[in-house]
Amino acid sequence: MPKFDPEIVHQCALQSLGKPKPEMFDAFARALAEHYPNTLDFSQPWIYSIAGGAMIQMKLYYASTSEYIMIWGTPIGSEGHSGRHFAGFWDTVIDGETWYYAEGQFEKTVYKPGDRIYVGPGQARAMNFTNGVWAVEYARGYIPTSMPFGVAEELFICVDYLTVVQTFSLYTDLIMQAWGQKVKILKPVTTPVSWVAHKVTRALEPALEVTEIPKKNIRWFKQKSK
**CA–CA separation, 32 and 220 (whole Å):** 35
Domain boundaries, given as residue ranges, for the chain = 6-161
> What does the pLDDT look like over 74-93, one tens digit per residue?
999 999 999 999 999 999 99
DSSP 120: -
> What does the pLDDT look like over 21-64, one tens digit per residue?
999 999 999 999 999 999 999 999 999 999 999 999 999 999 99
Please, which pLDDT band fits residue 226 given cuts at 50, 70 and 90? very low
Enter the CATH code of domain 6-161.
2.60.120.10
pTM: 0.94
**CA–CA separation, 21 and 134 (whole Å):** 10
DSSP-based three-state secondary structure for 101: strand
Cis omega (within 30 of 0) for bond into 22: yes
